[in-house]
Amino acid sequence: MAVILPAVTLTRRTLLRGLVAAAAVPALTPSLAFATSGRKWHPGHYFWPSEPAWSADVQRRHFAALDTVAANPYVTGIKIAFHWSDFEAARGDYSPGFRIIDAYLAKLDAMDKFLMVHVNERSFGGSAAVYPRYVADNGWVITRPSGATWTGGLDSTARMWQPAVMDRLIALSRAFATRYDGHPRFEQFSLGETAMGVPGRHGFSTEAWRTELKRWFTESKKAWPSTYLRLNANVIDNDEAMRDLITHCVDGGGVTVGGPNPEPPTPSITRFITANRVFRGDDGGEDLRGRIPWTGEVQAKGLGSRFPQTPGEIFAYHHDTMHASHMVWLHNTRTGGTPQRWSTGILPYINSIRGRVHTARPAGANPMA
């Protein structure tokens, strides 16, 4: 794929805004034509290689995995989830993120597949490298003390319930939208899950977190008129708070819902997830299935030793119970047995159902050629 190198004239004002490196990254010229209105809509099965930090070796492994499904019409694309610091090197310098995403889009453009992008703004592995240096230097990161236990295995997080921190994630969203909202291969953009296992003594409150998360969606929807944002909803306070959050975020369209947690074991669910229950109206509210897109995701639960499920059982839940339009499968090479591994269980199952998902276009997902 040819990359056009435009002439770039840098003004002093541009330098002051910290956009020098970003401006030096040339824009992609995708081969797929697209309309200028409506939202991109490419339902199907995506895979997620769970490697949170970008490196050249990681990218090579991802590309090798893509090569194995390049001619497979039932695998629609890939989800990448890298650290905030991989996407923003210094305050306002998004050039590393642009280079990463450009490379994936060029690869996907050559094989007619699509990209989901997720920004890790917290850590379940204790790495300070998750955050741009300026974020840590400003005291905007809290880390689990040694010996302490935080809910969900959280090790560190940016203080996203504080407006100054969320301002930076809004700025990142706007910068990426300027470059990629019009790209037809860029399918979804997201932050982390709604669950936030931080003790209140760190200045955290769920009310403040909901307020700032709502603000991110309000501002990001303005910036991404052609691309779906994803609300990674699982738990937050109670049913009423979750419905309020979902309702705010999906208002006006442009948002797909669906977090990292299934409700196993199926079909007799014993592990209910607040967002999933609320989405299908089990709280007594409106059933959003078929009206708002659901992105199903399969991480370790359901594939490992806890709640082991077959791909068929997992898919039946997301397809029949949640009406998923997009399915994200862990590219699992280590956990569980033969039925739970990508190459021996998941991919053969996707092939056996011919990539079936709910493809009906919801309101706000207008045709794009």
In a domain, 248, yes or no: yes
Q: How confident is the model at residue 364 (pLDDT cuts 50, 70, 90)?
A: low
Q: What is the 3-state secondary structure (H, E, C) of 34-92?
A: CCCCCCCCCCEEEEECCCCCCCHHHHHHHHHHHHHCCCCCCEEEEEEEEEHHHHCCECC
Residue 54 near residue 100, CB atoms below 8 Å:
yes
Q: Which two tokens stand for residue 363?
A: 């309101």
Percentage of the chain lying above the pLDDT 90 cut:
71
Higher-scoring residue by pLDDT: 333, 265: 333
Q: How confident is the model at residue 24 (pLDDT cuts 50, 70, 90)?
A: low
Domain count, the chain: 1
In a domain, 14, yes or no: no
Structural domain including 154 reads: 34-352
In a domain, 319, yes or no: yes
- In the predicted model, what is the mean pLDDT of residues 210-226? 97
Which CATH number covers residue 251?
3.20.20.80
What does the pLDDT read at residue 128? 62
Q: How confident is the model at residue 21 (pLDDT cuts 50, 70, 90)?
A: very low
What does the pLDDT read at residue 111? 97
Q: How confident is the model at residue 367 (pLDDT cuts 50, 70, 90)?
A: very low
Q: How confident is the model at residue 67 (pLDDT cuts 50, 70, 90)?
A: very high
Higher-scoring residue by pLDDT: 93, 272: 93
Alpha helices, H only, the chain: 12-16, 20-23, 56-68, 84-87, 95-111, 133-137, 163-180, 206-223, 239-250, 274-279, 311-316, 347-352
Q: Who's near 113: CB < 8 A, 6+ residues apart?
A: 66, 70, 75, 76, 77, 78, 185
Q: How confident is the model at residue 282 (pLDDT cuts 50, 70, 90)?
A: very high
- In the predicted model, what is the mean pLDDT of residues 65-73? 98
In a domain, 244, yes or no: yes
